[in-house]
Amino acid sequence: MATAKGYAAQAASDKLSPFTFERREPNADDVVIAIKHCGVCHSDIHMVDNGWGMSVYPLVPGHEITGVVTAVGSSVSRFKEGDRVGVGCFVDSCTTCAQRDLDLEQYMPGLVQTYSSPQPGSDLPTYGGYSDHMVVKEGYVLSIPDNLALDAAAPLLCAGITLYSPLRHWNAGPGKKVAILGLGGLGHMGVKIAHAMGAEVTVLSQTLSKQGDGLKMGADHYYATSDAATFETLAGTLDLIICTVSAALDWGAYLNLLKIDGAMVLVGAPEEPAQLNAFALIPGRRTLAGSMIGSIKETQEMLDFCGQHDIVADIETISINQINDAYVRMQKSDVRYRFVIDMATL
């Protein structure tokens, strides 16, 4: 066992504070990673607060991890010491269940999430990337393209793939009108990726305060959802809406912006249930769907796509002792557009 340093919440809604714990000795198929940067996802806040009712404490958050390989087990063939790598939202998945499908493993029942997840063969939960190092099975480690900086690439490991996967699945591309609802960490990656895919991109944000940024990221149009006229102007015009909002919304109002056969995909995961009138869907044969991160194969495809298009996150770098303030700011939508922790400050 190797001693690791990190930051943890000891109970629901606790502030994060320094925490020392053990990482396993590497097995033959493991990669040891010195963590350089970790993005701060709104899911980290939901999990620290036990907002989804599934958290296990002590809880070391962090699933937008980049770093450098420091050692590999004897059977590891794809990585060597010094490689620039990433780890996203899960570190293992089932190998035996009937529906096993390696390219959709994020939806399989045996998923082991990067933090706060029970893990086979251990009494301890997984501990995430707000820490100095981790030990991860080779099959769950991603390669970071050489042209992408490790700090600004970190958010691709969750925010990037969470938007890339539904944009691909619902065929965002030339001739498609795609709206990104919420311009936060996930949303700003969605604007950049949808633009690079060739779609016509609209941002739907609470106000126009980030309009200049959104247009620079590649949006073609930008509307404030606080302005009732937005819902009249855009009614029936969009092919696809990706909702990244972390709080409960009136989804019906947004479904009405879809064309016939349009789809709204929820990736934002509010803690409260929502009500929906069936007539938001019926008149336009509309679809309301959900999507969760992406498979390891698709995450590597997304990283390579971002490498080809020079896409990284817009980041505010913080030291680890600023993390509790960063959570407060994120809850006020006051981040441009992703906090990334410099792990050298641990």
In order, the DSSP letters of 222-243 are EEETTSHHHHHHTTT-EEEEEE
Angle between the N-to-C axes of helices 159-169 and 296-309, in degrees from 0 to 180, rounded to the nearest 10 = 100
Q: Binder to ligand NAP among 269, 324, 336, 342 (CB under 6 A)?
A: 269
Binding to ligand NAP (CB under 6 A) within 78-117 occurs at none
Instruction: Tell me if residue 338 falls in helix, strand or coil.
Output: strand
Least distance to Zn ion, CB of residue 128, Å: 10
**Cross-strand partners of 342:** 37
Among 206, 230, 317, 322, binds ligand NAP (CB under 6 A): 206
- The total of other beta-carbon atoms located within 10 Å of residue 345's CB is 11
Which residues between 145 and 164 bind ligand NAP (CB under 6 A)?
A: 158-159, 162
- Cα separation, 337 vs 311, whole angstroms: 14
205 binds, among Zn ion, ligand NAP, none (CB under 5 to 8 A by kind): ligand NAP
DSSP 158-175: THHHHHHHHHHHTT-STT
Residue closer to Zn ion by CB (options 238, 341) is: 341
Give the one entry of ligand NAP, Zn ion, none that residue 206 binds, where binding means its C-beta sits below a cut-off of 5 to 8 angstroms depending on kind: ligand NAP
Structure tokens at 284: 């336009």
Q: Of the candidates 8, 16, 43, 199, which one interacts with Zn ion according to CB under 5 A?
A: 43
Short-list 233, 234, 201, CA closest to 215: 201
Does 54 contact ligand NAP by CB under 6 A? no
Tell me, residue by residue from 18 to 47, as one string, x for binding to ligand NAP by CB under 6 A and - for no binding. -----------------------xxx--x-
Stretch that binds ligand NAP, among 136-144, 191-199, 245-253, 306-314 (CB under 6 A): 245-253
Closest approach of Cβ 86 to ligand NAP, in Å? 15
Neighbours of 225 (CB within 10 A): 19
Nearer to Zn ion, 114 or 205 (CB): 114
Question: Of 64-72, 171-179, 244-252, 317-325, which part binds ligand NAP (CB under 6 A)?
Answer: 244-252
CB of 226 to ligand NAP, least distance (A): 9
Beta carbons within 10 angstroms of residue 187's beta carbon: 27
Task: Answer for the pair 167, 178: CB distance below 8 angstroms, yes or no.
Answer: yes
